[in-house]
Amino acid sequence: MKPVIGIAACGSADNRQFVTEAYIEAVSRTGGIPLILPILDDAALLTDYLQICDGFLFCGGEDITPLLFGEELLTDRGSTDLFADRFHLALMQTVLHAKRPVLAICRGMQIMNLALGGSIYQDLSLRPSPTLQHMQISGSRKDPCHKITVSQNSMLSDFLGTYANVNSFHHQCLHFIPPQIRPVATASDGVVEAIEIPGHPFALGVQWHPEVLLSLDPGMEKLFSTLTERAGSCLFPGSAG
């Protein structure tokens, strides 16, 4: 049986929880069974999610509530959802502790950083140095926005090489990065664009949106195919174990 990839619901609107179709299609295209995981206020379900999923995908979404990383609100940009934030943080901590394969995209990468004790800038304007425009305005989400430089001897460099052009749809970014996490890609302004967790079977976070770039760059597809491969090769109690 194909590995089951649990996709944490991106958020909610009009009493409906949702996941953007591109994430579902990316998992399916690369050999996984996509399973949407609802946002619920029940800690016991986190263990249940581990039982039924072989790997996990965290998506983009709203801003993260500043109080969760020890700050008060400093800007009027973006909206937050404390209920979703708490669920995503708890699920990420559970997944990382269990060493399950996980790919975290945009907000998901920020959740990964926070889950291990890191912090984020509430807005790029709060960084002490000049910053690129990271919230692109273009005709297509597939359009490139800026270049990233990838660290040598990183897992990401195996997929993308030393440089890549990426799209960009964020106004927050990583600030303090805990020692368990290795930054592995940056934009020209120093903003961290990707992170990995050394010693973990597969824990990768990227700030851009590779789910819409699969048809344009084989390296972007490799992010998802490696997630499903690692999920399928590990003997978990889930469907592929």
Q: What would the DSSP string read from start to end of 86-97?
A: HHHHHHHHHHHH
Domain membership flag for residue 112: yes
Q: In the chain, how many H helices and how many E strands?
A: 6, 13
Helix (H, G, I), strand (E, B) or coil at 236: coil
Domain membership flag for residue 179: yes
Cα separation, 13 vs 61, in Å, equals 12
106 counts as catalytic: yes
pLDDT by position in tens, the chain (length 241): 899 999 999 988 778 898 999 999 999 999 999 999 999 988 888 999 999 999 999 999 899 999 999 888 887 777 889 999 999 999 999 999 999 999 999 999 999 999 999 999 998 888 888 777 777 677 777 677 678 999 999 999 999 999 999 988 888 899 999 999 999 999 988 999 999 999 999 999 999 999 998 999 999 999 999 999 999 986 454 444 4
Q: One of 88, 146, 170, 209 is an active-site residue; which one?
A: 209
Domain membership flag for residue 180: yes
Question: In the structure encoding, which two tokens stand for residue 121, read together?
Answer: 């800038």
145 counts as catalytic: no
Instruction: Report the domain count for the chain.
Output: 1
Cα separation, 45 vs 39, in Å, equals 10
Domain membership flag for residue 161: yes
Domain membership flag for residue 238: no
Domain membership flag for residue 108: yes
21 counts as catalytic: no
Q: One of 193, 211, 221, 229 is an active-site residue; which one?
A: 211
DSSP-assigned letter for residue 207? S
CATH code, domain with 152: 3.40.50.880
Say how many C-beta atoms besides its own lie within 10 A of residue 34's C-beta: 17
Counted residue by residue, the chain has a size of 241
pTM to 2 decimals?
Answer: 0.92
Helix (H, G, I), strand (E, B) or coil at 203: strand
Q: One of 10, 53, 59, 106 is an active-site residue; which one?
A: 106
Say how many C-beta atoms besides its own lie within 10 A of residue 230's C-beta: 21
Domain membership flag for residue 36: yes
Strands (E) across 85-155 are located at 102-105, 120-121, 146-150
- What domain range is 76 assigned to? 4-233
